[in-house]
Amino acid sequence: MQSNEIRRRFLKFFENRGHKIIPSASLVPENDPSVLFNTAGMQPLVPYLLGQPHPMGKRLVNAQKCVRTQDIDEVGDNTHDTFFEMLGNWSLGDYFKDDAIQWSYEFLISKEEGLGLDPKRLYVTVFEGDENAPKDTEAFDIWKKYVPEHRIYYMGAKSNWWSVGDNGPCGPDTEMFYDVTKNGLGDLSKEEYLKADSEQKVVEIWNDVFMQFLKKDGKIIGQLPSQNVDTGSGLERIAMAVQGKSNLFETDLFAGAMEVLKNLVDKYDDRPARIVADHIRTSIFMITDGVLPSNTGRGYILRRLLRRAILKMRSMHPGEFNIASEGSVFFEIIQKFFEIYSDTSYLIKPETEVFEVIKNEELKFRNTLEQGLKEFESGTDPFVLFTTYGFPVELTVELGRKVNMEDFNTKIAEHQKLSQTSSAGMFKGGLANHNDKTIRLHTSHHLLLAGLQAIVSPTVKQRGSNITEERLRIDFLCDHKLTDEEKQKVEAWVNDKISKELNVVRMEMPLVEAEKIGAEMEFGAKYPEVVSVYVIEDEGGNPISKEFCGGPHVSNTRELGMFKIQKEEAVSAGVRRIKAVLG
């Protein structure tokens, strides 16, 4: 069974059980400055898991694009990619452990509706309890109906407990593992199971999280009034299990790209080849979701992935100087990935556009390398080579210089602490930053867009946005630099609305309806059939701003304070950027 069929079956299976299919959110989180990329299916759903009603109801299912840069050093092993799709089903205060466990099991095992996996290869873990929370005997007892007791293991909080910080929902989880060895391991004692897990002979394929308790100041204070289920299963790992492979790179998702590498490079080597395939795939998905290589934030991650792929490629294929040229191995690999995902709606940018970005990045990298090489030859220190000239330390080593890596890494860590404190915070992952400051900025963001349309031109369209605790940023289509007069007028327009104490109302409506009333949409985003729209109404009840948006927002503009534009600048041809604050 191919991955496209696995994804289709997953969505269908849960649709048949009352779930609404929602589209994958972009890899780039909307209005969430606390993370660089979505790292799990639950991330875009956080407001709903925290209690806001979801417009599509209480049972949801989807396949979410995820990037985990924190797994980058694992890539090349059998089970980790930097990009993967997470299949997930959710109960928002609806069903709980009984149904969640039964359906996970049925989907994995059922031949008709599910994947037809071998039940004898399935192992399960549940939470063993600790000083904070009880043993999850409930989950154990439910699992017992499907899986022999001796293949259900009790495990500690490190692997089987979910929480975010000291306040909010938390609870136990249960994980499913699949034996991917050729002949099958059979029954395993807990010790044997742990060993098999560490050797990647059994592989975690699914995690069901039960948001059961409420934590306050680090202590559990009781059961949540509304309990949620959040499950996540990696499509790549499921494909491994279904297709009888012992690593991700042998699944149909990667087979095409790996074939190209095996056939075309001079010195094929498993690990670098896997890294090249992984990094190119992740880059393709980042680029199609609007990320471009740069020196900060998301762009920096993309740049690192591309340059690492280029270096690994170079090490296997030294003959090819222009790695990213038409007909090159890179080019072929990109085409393979576009083929694999042609049945999905993921890769909305044409492959030529993606290829251009990769090619340009290689050109830049080559210039860097040339300059770095000169510095290298004149004896420059590896740390300076890296930080000042962007010359990769791998290359310094490859060229025959001895580098004390421990020393080097300590220096780099210190350097990054100094230069990247702001974006370093973004690696933490976790929940969206929904504090008062960002919520207020978010509402003024809506007002600003409406103000630009009212004062500058009705053709102004949003092309990007980013909100931190300190400021908001909006990128928008506009053919000219704003004059001082325009800026003042826009500012005055927004402040006028704030002083009029207007209501901010959340409405749910069918997508077609929202489109009909002309609500502002995120460029290129996919929306479910029913959406939520935030409307700001003037004193007469007429909408002055309507945007597709998950929120949250303030309920009245009087909560905002003084609005001020800090900066207006160009981003690219026809796209301007404004940074603004609330005083």
Which residues here bind ligand ATP, judged by CB under 6 A?
Answer: 68, 71, 79-81, 84, 86, 204-207, 232-234, 236-237
Of the candidates 489, 461, 455, 465, which has an alpha carbon nearest to the alpha carbon of residue 476? 461
- Closer residue to ligand ATP in complex, CB, 84/386: 84
CB of 156 to ligand ATP, least distance (A): 14
**d(Cα 140, Cα 154) in Å, to the nearest integer?**
8
- Closer residue to ligand ATP in complex, CB, 279/497: 279
- Closer residue to ligand ATP in complex, CB, 159/420: 159
**d(Cα 451, Cα 489) in Å, to the nearest integer?**
9
Of the candidates 116, 138, 93, 99, which has an alpha carbon nearest to the alpha carbon of residue 6? 116
CB of 66 to ligand ATP, least distance (A): 8
CB of 208 to ligand ATP, least distance (A): 10
CB of 80 to ligand ATP, least distance (A): 4
Which residues are paired to 177 by β-bridges? 123, 204
Any idea which residue has 């299919």 for tokens?
21
CB of 7 to ligand ATP, least distance (A): 13
Q: Which two tokens stand for residue 581?
A: 């604050």
CB of 416 to ligand ATP, least distance (A): 22
CA distances from 450 to 32, 455, 460, 497, 566 (A): 21, 9, 9, 10, 18
CA distances from 215 to 38, 166, 433, 439 (A): 24, 6, 18, 23
Q: What is the distance between the terminal CA atoms of the chain, rounded to a whole angstrom?
A: 57
CB of 152 to ligand ATP, least distance (A): 17
**d(Cα 260, Cα 443) in Å, to the nearest integer?**
49
Provide CB contacts within 8 A for 327, sequence distance 6+.
Answer: none
**d(Cα 336, Cα 353) in Å, to the nearest integer?**
15
- Closer residue to ligand ATP in complex, CB, 234/552: 234
Q: Where are the beta strands (DSSP E) in 456-554?
A: 461-467, 472-477, 504-510, 530-537, 543-548
Cβ-contact 55, 532 below 8 angstroms: yes
CB of 140 to ligand ATP, least distance (A): 19
Give the rounded distance of the alpha carbon of 132 from its chain centre.
30
CB of 391 to ligand ATP, least distance (A): 29
- Closer residue to ligand ATP in complex, CB, 176/329: 176
The residue of the chain with the least Cβ separation from ligand ATP equals 234
CB of 68 to ligand ATP, least distance (A): 5
- Closer residue to ligand ATP in complex, CB, 43/207: 207
- Closer residue to ligand ATP in complex, CB, 104/532: 104
Q: What is the 3-state secondary structure (H, E, C) of 330-375?
A: HHHHHHHHHHHCCCCCCCCCCHHHHHHHHHHHHHHHHHHHHHHHHH
Cβ-contact 32, 552 below 8 angstroms: no
CB of 406 to ligand ATP, least distance (A): 26
Give the rounded distance of the alpha carbon of 452 from its chain centre.
31
- Closer residue to ligand ATP in complex, CB, 237/308: 237
**Torsion sign over Cα 69, 73, 75, 78:** negative
SS3 467: strand
- Closer residue to ligand ATP in complex, CB, 108/511: 108
- Closer residue to ligand ATP in complex, CB, 230/520: 230
- Closer residue to ligand ATP in complex, CB, 32/81: 81
